[in-house]
Structure 1
Amino acid sequence: MGSPSRSQVVFRSAEHELMLGEVFEGEKDVFVLGAGFSRAISPSMPLLSDLAQVLMEPAEFLSFGGSVEQWLSFLAEDHPWLKPAENARQHALFLQQSSRLAAQVRAAQASAVAEGLPTWLAQLVDLWHRGRSTVLSFNYDVLVERAWTKILGAEADEAPTAVYPIPPAPLRTRQRVTRREWPGPDTFRLLKLHGSLNWLYSGPAGTQSETVYDVSSGAGWAFGPEDEEDYAALLAPDKVPFIVPPTRGKTAFFDHELIRAQWQMAREAVASAERIFFLGHSLPDSGGMLRTLLRASARGKVLVPIDTNQAVVERYRSLRSHEVVDEYVLDAEPIPSFVRYCAG
């Protein structure tokens, strides 16, 4: 299905109408990114179903119905029928599989970068920047940050720190390399609610207030040293990527103050928004925390899913007390089409 013309694309309902040029206006709109957003950037980027195929053994895949979420939840939790030593082995396996998950996303990200920066992504990031938008991301990759540093160039100060409202400490501070104090450009806010590949910490057993480090090199869209799997291990052998795996029970990960503070900012953004755009976020079973947030803080808001699957619309309608606009659920390339429409 080709890109619709402006006359074909009308976000219209009984009380709300979205016209060209009205999106990306400060606090009016919030954007939520899911795995489908990264897949739209590159077919190399995995969905949960792809990760299940890679990470799970055939017997595990069969036992858990191909759900990587249920499988990782099983590994992460204590079970009363297991001995303490067996539960400990399960937890160790969970950490190993979480590292494998990070490695898979990192490799896919390198492939996506090699394919070049999509024009529509550059346009979208520029619109976010000019509109000072709030973007809630559930993705581990740093493709948005890379696009931002590429577009802003020297103004980005060689690192994506400015898009993080609560920036992690640059990893080079561990080597006592001083960084020029720089307030950074006035730009959009990127809240990474499930962590990020370029963030490092001691693991879920660490303290709630421990320092989180940013391993980014600020290489723009190009392949950088942080893409090398051994790079972080060389500079921080005691750290692991700070990512919240797709499990049902994420409480231990959400205990860290960096993640909790971002969720609190997300709640404020959602509560003050008029419309919430979901770019490639299908509201899966592992999105229980987002469902709760929307039910608690987004009552009466206009929800706009931008996806390829019509079934996604019903998931958003099941939240109740929200108006769901479905005019931008298309058969192919809905996200690039949406961006081209908004960019004029």
Structure 2
Amino acid sequence: MRQKVAVLGAGSWGTALSMVLDENGHEVRLWGNDPQQIKEINEQHTNEHYLPGAKLSESIVAYTDLKAAIDDADALLFVLPTKAIRVVAKEVASLLDGQTRPHLIHASKGLEQDTHKRISVIIQEEIPAEKYESLVVLSGPSHAEEVAKKDITTITAASQDEEDAGYVQKLFMNPYFRVYRNTDVIGVELGAALKNIIAVGAGALHGLGYGDNAKAALMTRGLAEISRLGIAFGADPMTFIGLSGVGDLIVTGTSRHSRNWRAGDLIGKGHDLDEVLNNMGMVVEGVATTKAAYELAQEKGIEMPITEAIYKVLYEKVDVKKAIEELMLREGKAEQSSQNVEKGSQSI
């Protein structure tokens, strides 16, 4: 069934998901706040800054007017930087009349600064439940550049209601874009957010010249940290060995497509964080998420040594090599314990 979908966020991922929706025969309205970018999408059918070389369908229509973009839409897809979610959700709430109740979907990955809240929680706080039909998280291992080329991609639609997740699954599924259902919203969102931290670290290792051994160590122990924090907040441990856990960690922690990896690589090569962020041209979610996760772990008393080390490099200007040495010389521990894993123990 053809649906009207407003995609809120005209960055690389929002544009790539718009292309999938259009490919599936849906009416796509792509919203952004940069008039020049919106003009380029409508007239040139390109989005060169965010998705170089991709040609968009002429049937994808871009808007700067949020009201016009969401008017009578069946679904609203939030694909925005985490820091913009609350502001845009609040504006969306003021525009929804409660008569047409759209499905809400978000495909953003991060934690809100200061509050440390997940994105679905932010949306629920700003948009009254009576104004929307459902809220589903769309997440998993996916580079926008590869989706735009129709490379095979698999991701997860997460909702406590499987029927709602099924709606999103049908909306996006096609021969190159496969969607699985999941009921663990907490695990999917935390896996998506926290893997960006490890990706920054993986990039830094590359920038320093370390090899595959170091990369494997970082990603494996990084996944243990992600799982530990997630389990402490009620996530299903199995989620972290799925698409939005280890899958997303692999794709983000090993590829130059990942802006988090690229930022870490430059930091490893000696570039200053402010310089890296100013020259990236896109939001590097892992930097802000590192601070949020570090503060959350401190608040809850959860041991996350890799996250702490990356935090010190990013926010306390600790030398990367010194941070690595401190990690390597920590007290020796057992790799795993089934009892500890179940409880999210600090001793893992």
Same fold (TM over 0.5): no
TM-score (structure 1 length as normaliser): 0.30
Higher RCO (C-alpha under 8 Å, 6+ residues apart): 1
TM-score (structure 2 length as normaliser): 0.29
